[in-house]
Amino acid sequence: MEDQKVNKACSGMPDTVFECVIHYIHDSRDRDAVSLVCRRWHDIDAMTRKHITIAFCYTTTPGQLLKRFRDLESLKLKGKPRAAMFNLIPEDWGGYVTPWVEEIARSFRCLNAIHFRRMIVRDSDLELLAQSRGNALQVLKLDKCSGFSTDGLLHIGRSCRGLRTLFLEESTIMEKDGEWLHELALNNTVLETLSFYMTDLNDVRFQDLELIARNCRSLVSMKISDIEILDLAVFFSAATALEEFGGGFFNDQPERYSAVSFPQRLCQLGLAYMGNNEMPIVFPFASRLKKLDLLYALLDTEDHCLLIQRCPNLEVLETRNVIGDRGLEILARYCKRLRRLRIERGADEQGMEDEEGVVSQRGLIAVAQGCLELEYWAVHVSDITNAALECIGTHMKNLSDFRLVLLDQVERINDLPLDNGVLALLRGCCHKLRRFALYLRPGALSDVGLRYIGQYSPNVRWMLLGNVGESDEGLLEFSRGCPSLQKLEMRGCCFSEQALAKAVLQLTSLRYMWLQGYRATETGRDLLVMARPFWNIELIPARKVAVPDQLGEAVVVSDNPAHIIAYYSLAGQRTDFPDTVVPLIL
């Protein structure tokens, strides 16, 4: 009797009440949980969800997305595996946006923000998008995409006058001319963010940038390709609202750059090819800087020290390992508000980077003890100890994303294996850690260490593991843990196909796996152990690839060992794969 009364009360609650409440629920995982309660809540969620991220484009179809979220306003789609950013995936592997753009043009009337990441985009796709969305399109991000030219961008520049964000970073774009930027400059007055950073678009006129600065009073972020900084003096004086700037180069005499005055609100900066002589132009406003990108600068260790000590408000730093242990000690002393730190791998060639420019346990310990608010930390180290990892676990209680790569320059690392250090790190950070990468060398992490990773990463959703473990046993122990692991990437493993397949079955949350370098058999039969409904398995068999060598001088034919990509999908087997990809069809 009482149950019936309760049920009536529930069914009597008007939808509008819940619709008001649901607008306060933003996190996609919370929304996911809400949508599973009952059909009405599922439908209300579907009608009110503003943004969807499809982490891997082959898990579903445009039609399925439309059926559930017809009034979607913002979509993010990711295509190629992350390994594509490291030149490991064939260019024509897949991730075509065409079927998605066609559906967007046909049916998604409310969609105004689109973000494609690591996908193949054609000029015809951009033309269709421009024609169908037109002035309604507010955000377009072609992030590490390829397959299109400046002609495609011309359509966007002409037809999308409502565009607030155009983001093209690291995309491979065929350059015909600079007309696309000119059109954008002529037609747009609401642009807030423009980025063609790290593209090879050099045929751009700085006069068009000046026009954009004058017309778009809300311009807040501009990141460009290789344009001489002196040519941007007028741009900088016009862009009064600018907070972020990246790119450019310095080809003139250092003294001339002191005449360039930067916008008053500029607090995020990344000047490419900035050397020791040009660095002082940053000093007048260095204390205002919240974000500093030195990845493409020409600074040595001492320069880093001189610059960083002037930036007490720094929250984000990206640089190469030329910063060295000494630079990291300075960072730890002066930049107490640091939240994100990325230390990439510089040149290996002798003479191209500072000899002091290596990061070891000394730098790790300094940062661990000094930058307690760090949430994201990616670092390439040349040497490491267990003590350094323990120190990270002890002090860094806010770490949610940690990535360590042990470089192979130093032949002998004394304090191996790193089992105990990794254990201490994970136990210390276990509550907040969501993303974890550990790329080592054979012998650096034993099966015991691999088991520790499984046992002590309760909330980790993404992992990249390189050269870890000793035997299949280690992998199987690992896969008994990791209860939240959704996406796993592994490289250089000693595991057999059978063990890999068994591990996949044991990882309860796993929905995507990428793997390169394992004990492959001729036919890949043992992988069938992981065959199950909705689970797609694709191979990229071992092949030889011609890649430019480190110096860009010679083309080296190198071996590219077999990849396995396996993922859950509601879309069935994909049909757009190239010759280099072999789906395991069951």
Partner 1 sequence: MSRSTVELDFFRMEKENSSKSHTQKLFDRRRSFRDIQGVISKLNPDLLKTVIASGSSNQTPTGNGNFLPSKASTPKDLPVYTPIFAPISGSESTPPLTIFYNGNVVVFDVPRHKAENILKLAEKGLPKTVESADLKLAASSNDQPQLLQTLNGDLPIFRRKSLQRFLVKRKERLTLVSPYSCADYVQT
Provide the binding-site residues for partner 1, judged by CB under 8 A: 85-88, 170, 198, 251-253, 272-273, 295-296, 298, 320, 344-347, 349-352, 355, 405, 407-411, 439, 441-442, 466-467, 491-494, 516-522, 542-544, 546, 548, 550-554, 556-559, 561-562
Q: Identify which of residues 127 and 447 has a Cβ nearer to partner 1 in the complex.
A: 447
Smallest gap, in angstroms, from Cβ of residue 473 to partner 1?
Answer: 18
Strands 462-466 and 316-320 come out as: unpaired
Residues 323/343, Cβ–Cβ less than 8 Å:
yes
Smallest gap, in angstroms, from Cβ of residue 567 to partner 1?
Answer: 22
Q: Identify which of residues 155 and 491 has a Cβ nearer to partner 1 in the complex.
A: 491
Q: Identify which of residues 393 and 466 has a Cβ nearer to partner 1 in the complex.
A: 466
Smallest gap, in angstroms, from Cβ of residue 350 to partner 1?
Answer: 5
Smallest gap, in angstroms, from Cβ of residue 91 to partner 1?
Answer: 11
Q: Identify the sign of the CA torsion 21, 26, 32, 33.
A: negative
With CA atoms as reference, report the closest residue to 563 among 513, 529, 506. 513
Q: Which residue has the tokens 């916008």?
A: 263
Nearest 10 degrees: Cα torsion 26, 458, 460, 541 = -130
What is the token pair recorded at 261? 């005055």
Smallest gap, in angstroms, from Cβ of residue 274 to partner 1?
Answer: 12
Q: Identify which of residues 29 and 544 has a Cβ nearer to partner 1 in the complex.
A: 544
With CA atoms as reference, report the closest residue to 445 among 416, 425, 423, 472. 416
Q: Identify which of residues 219 and 584 has a Cβ nearer to partner 1 in the complex.
A: 584
Element (H, E) at 534: none
Residue type, 149: S
Q: Which residue has the tokens 């046992």?
A: 455
Smallest gap, in angstroms, from Cβ of residue 549 to partner 1?
Answer: 8
Smallest gap, in angstroms, from Cβ of residue 282 to partner 1?
Answer: 19
With CA atoms as reference, report the closest residue to 399 among 344, 450, 451, 341. 341
What is the token pair recorded at 48? 């009110």
Q: What is the DSSP string of 99-163?
A: HHHHHHHHT-TT--EEEEES-B--HHHHHHHHHHHGGG--EEEEES-EEEEHHHHHHHHHH-TT-
Smallest gap, in angstroms, from Cβ of residue 292 to partner 1?
Answer: 16
Cα gap 509→165, rounded to integer Å: 35
Smallest gap, in angstroms, from Cβ of residue 26 to partner 1?
Answer: 31
Q: Tell me how long the chain is.
A: 586
Beta strands of 287-421 (E only): which ranges?
Answer: 291-293, 316-320, 340-344, 376-381, 401-406
Q: Identify which of residues 128 and 407 has a Cβ nearer to partner 1 in the complex.
A: 407
Contacts 24+ apart (CB under 8 A), 501-505: 501/526, 501/527, 501/528, 501/529, 501/530, 502/476, 502/529, 502/530, 503/475, 503/476, 503/478, 503/479, 504/479, 504/530, 504/566, 505/529, 505/530, 505/532
Beta bridge mates, 406 = 381
Q: Identify which of residues 27 and 522 has a Cβ nearer to partner 1 in the complex.
A: 522
Smallest gap, in angstroms, from Cβ of residue 178 to partner 1?
Answer: 20
Q: Identify which of residues 23 and 543 has a Cβ nearer to partner 1 in the complex.
A: 543
Q: Identify which of residues 19 and 348 has a Cβ nearer to partner 1 in the complex.
A: 348
Phi, psi of 161 (to 5 degrees): -75, -10
Smallest gap, in angstroms, from Cβ of residue 561 to partner 1?
Answer: 5
Burial string for 111-145 (b: 16+ CB within 10 Å, else e) reads bbbbbbbbbbbbbebbbbbbebbeeebbbbbbbbb
Q: Identify which of residues 24 and 86 has a Cβ nearer to partner 1 in the complex.
A: 86
Smallest gap, in angstroms, from Cβ of residue 53 to partner 1?
Answer: 22
Q: Identify which of residues 49 and 118 has a Cβ nearer to partner 1 in the complex.
A: 118
Q: What is the DSSP string of 480-517?
A: TS-TT--EEEEES---BHHHHHHHHHH-TT--EEEEES
Q: Identify which of residues 64 and 409 has a Cβ nearer to partner 1 in the complex.
A: 409
The residues near 251 (Cβ < 8 Å, ≥ 6 apart) are 228
